[in-house]
Chain A
Amino acid sequence: MSDASTTDIPPELLQVAEENGIPLDLMRRALALGFPADAIRQQMSMPGVTAEAAEQFISEQEKIRSGGEITIPDDVLALSREKNWPEELIKRALTLGAPSAMLIQQMNAGITAEQAASFIAQQEQLRGGAGGAPKLDLSWMKVPTEWGMRISPGKKGLTVGMLNVGTYADIPDFWPYHSEMPRGAHPILGLPAMGYSIYEKAELWSENAADLYEEAIQRRWRPSTDVPWESMEDLPDAVEKAVCQLCTHISERALVAGDIVGAWLPEMSYGYHEVKLYLSVAEFDVARWFEVFRKRALSNGGGLGIQAPGYFHRTLIDARAWTEASAALHILAASQLMMLFQIGHYTAHNDAERTIFSYCIQDVARQRGYGSQHLKYFLSRHSERRVEISHVLNKYEVMLQYEWDADTPLREALMILLGGGASPEQIADGASKLEYFRKRWANDYVDQLAAAGLGERRDKVHRSIKQYISEPEEAAAAAA
Chain B
Amino acid sequence: MGNQIHLGIDFHDGGQFGDECTFFAGPEMTVLPLKAVSTARNGVGAFILQCKKMDIHYCDWAGSSKGMNGFIKSILPQFAAAHPQIEFNVSPRPAKHPVIVGHYVNGKQKSICVKNMEPLQILKKAELLRDASGDRVKRMNRPVTSVNPSVRGIWSPFHGQGMKV
Do A and B actually bind?
no
